[in-house]
Amino acid sequence: MRSVVVVPAGRRDGNVSRESDALANLPAPFSTAAELVGNFSRKNLTAEDMVVLSGAHTIGVSHCSSFTNRLYGFSAGSDVDPTMSPAYAFLLRAVCPSNSSQFFPNTTVDMDVITPAALDNRYYVGLTNNLGLFTSDQALLTNATLKASVDEFVKSEKRWKSKFVKAMVKMGGIEVLTGTQGEVRLNCRVVNRRSIAAAAATDLELTTMAGAEVAAS
Ligand code: HEM
């Protein structure tokens, strides 16, 4: 079934985009429940928002490097994370050998193994059947409050969807720029061409000035 969601448009974003900023702001897939809650609260999102938004993992894929920590050398007593379904771990080990990041860097697996292409609540159903992919997915079961939200969304897809829409809009308002700061991007993943051109021109000017200085000395 097609879902139509109305969201505000025209968010002013920065005109600089760096990979290192993403890594500093996004939680790692190896995070514990406390780390996840902390990460989201720094962006004014609640623990419930965090569980609701994690449901986005109902679609999409992941590279092996994000979860092989659970498949090889997990702990002194167990090679595989014992909280993961052994059958699921067996399947993942077949797709992602222990050296996969080195030899198969482009291999990916679906994050929701039940219904990978549908925006539904099966991500939560998977979680409660030990089919969560990341340590951070599994972490949602390790705290009673977070687990209560997971159970709520297993029971009612409708409640998850209505909360998901609200949390997505809330997330879209994080650190939004105002006035003449930044720009409204034409493609949300990329800064506009004009600002790239402006940055390149500034770089050129600096290079030319540095060149002039060298020539003068
Ligand atoms: C709770 C903390 C979260 C963690 C630790 C996390 C971690 C990850 C990781 C490791 C991947 C796979 C990256 C890769 O190896 O290629 C991923 C993919 C993805 N995540 Fe999250 N994520 C989180 C929250 C979110 C939120 C809040 C959303 C959106 C509302 C989201 C949406 C997605 C989507 C759509 C993909 C798939 C991208 C694709 O198919 O290319 N995630 N996430």
The ranges assigned to domains in the chain are: 24-173
Between CA 36 and CA 56 the distance in angstroms is 15
State residue 102's pLDDT score.
Answer: 83
Query: Does 58 show up as a binding residue in the annotation?
Result: yes
Q: Whose CA is nearest to atom 5 of ligand 1?
A: 29
* Lookup: tokens for 23: 């890594």
Whether residue 67 contacts residue 138, with contact meaning beta carbons closer than 8 Å, is answered with: no
pLDDT per residue over 10-37, tens digit each? 999 999 888 888 888 999 999 999 999 9
Residue tagged 């900023």 (tokens): 21
pLDDT per residue over 57-90, tens digit each? 999 999 999 999 999 999 999 999 999 999 999 9
Assign 108 to helix, strand or coil: strand
Homologous superfamily of the 24-173 domain (CATH): Peroxidase, domain 2 (1.10.420.10)
What are the angstrom distances between the C-alpha of 195 and each of 73, 172, 177, 183, 205?
46, 22, 16, 9, 15
Confidence of residue 207 (pLDDT cuts 50, 70, 90): very low
Residue ranges in the chain assigned as alpha helix (H): 19-25, 33-41, 47-54, 86-95, 100-103, 122-127, 135-138, 144-155, 157-172, 193-216
Whether residue 149 contacts residue 121, with contact meaning beta carbons closer than 8 Å, is answered with: no
Query: Does 110 show up as a binding residue in the annotation?
Result: no
Between CA 132 and CA 164 the distance in angstroms is 19
The binding-site residues of ligand 1, defined as CB within 6 angstroms of any ligand atom, are 27, 29, 31, 36, 50, 53-54, 56-57, 59-63, 66, 134, 136
Whether residue 110 contacts residue 5, with contact meaning beta carbons closer than 8 Å, is answered with: no
pTM score > 0.75 for this model? yes
Cβ neighbors of 117 (< 8 A, separation 6 or more) are 59
